[in-house]
Amino acid sequence: MISVPVTEASQVADARRRATGVAQTLGFDETAAGRVAIVATELATNLVKYGTNGEILLGTFEDETGMGVEIIALDRGAGVADVADALRDGHSTGGSSGTGLGAVRRQSQAFDIAAWPGRGLAVLARISSTASKSATSQPPQVPRFGAVAVPLRGEAVNGDAYCIRPHNDGWTALVADGLGHGPQAAQASEAAVRVFRKHEQEAPSRILAAIHAGLGHTRGGAVSAARYESGRAMLVFAGIGNVAGAVITDGVTKRLVSLPGTAGLVARRIQEFEQPFTRRSLLVMCSDGIGTSWVLDGYPGILAAHPSLIAAVIYRDFARGRDDAMVLVVREPAP
């Protein structure tokens, strides 16, 4: 993802330009790219007016709900006490017409917002190449997963990578953190994903063994794999190194075990661990760029949010700032 700091009015144009560039890489036509520009402008302007240490994250998405441009706005300001009021056209605390967030929601195919007094604001907007929305009154489908992946400031590529693949009885997810950062770290994590795709139907321990054997030509990295088996309501997890995992069920967080080592260099033991996983559960996997002390207890209601928004809040509040950062959030959608 592209991270764009937005702390002053001059940076709004940069956020709009970069967002439009992402849309153009996906082949968006002029009308669709214009909708992306509107969303980026409104969110960036909102950060300047109301936010503190504002940041726009720009990326793409592709999942069971479709594909397109993903824009996330984050700030560390005072937050809001009433999200519904903040979304209502005409509501403003900054002297504006009060249509910013409402306009963002109207231009987006998926939209979510999270805010708590004293904890800033996080807004997610997903824009597809077509403006069509569901013709039914049903709420939009919430995807199974979402991720935030931001390279160390100053780096052009991210040394962290992820992949999630469905299988007959659930899904299997991988997060890889190439040693260090920069192009060589990215080479290692991308190699891990390629090996994963060849072995995605296998157990996590076998996946990691294959990745360990396949990363010998790279600088290596930390790798964790998680496989959800819906028939057993169980998550099977295995890790080499410091890609951390946790399962949250009904507000209770259970940390997952990853054993010491570096895939491609040394992995003396690869072992699987199991953790119950239900439709009320959430899997969170983080690279070493995220502090291990993260908790979500102080964010009421966040577990029901869009997975990308949950990942973004963890990134905003717990990124170390000295390495690439990756957060993957996966759930099993309600039937």
Cβ pair 212, 221 in contact under 8 A:
no
Encoded tokens for 66: 């479709």
**Distance (Å, whole) CA 183 – CA 185:** 5
Q: Which helix (DSSP H) or strand (DSSP E) does residue 162 occupy?
A: strand 160-167
pLDDT in the model for residue 137: 43
Q: Residue 238's beta-bridge partner residues?
A: 225
pLDDT in the model for residue 289: 96
pLDDT in the model for residue 53: 86
CA distance readout (Å), 7 to 51, 77, 84, 100, 299: 8, 11, 25, 17, 24
For 55-112, write each residue's pLDDT tens digit: 999 999 988 778 899 999 999 887 666 666 666 654 434 433 335 788 899 999 999 9
For 235-248, write each residue's pLDDT tens digit: 999 999 999 999 99
Name the superfamily (CATH) of residues 145-331: PPM-type phosphatase domain (3.60.40.10)
For 100-158, write each residue's pLDDT tens digit: 788 899 999 999 999 888 888 999 999 998 865 543 345 555 568 999 999 999 999 99
CA distance readout (Å), 114 to 6, 34, 81: 19, 25, 11
Q: Which residues contact 154 (CB under 8 A, 6 or more apart)?
A: none
For 299-331, write each residue's pLDDT tens digit: 999 999 999 999 999 999 999 999 999 999 999
pLDDT in the model for residue 49: 87
For 259-290, write each residue's pLDDT tens digit: 999 999 999 999 999 999 999 999 999 999 99
Confidence grade of residue 171 (pLDDT, cut at 50, 70, 90): very high
**Distance (Å, whole) CA 75 – CA 78:** 9
CATH code assigned to 2-127: 3.30.565.10
Confidence grade of residue 185 (pLDDT, cut at 50, 70, 90): very high
The domain segmentation of the chain, as residue ranges, is: 2-127, 145-331
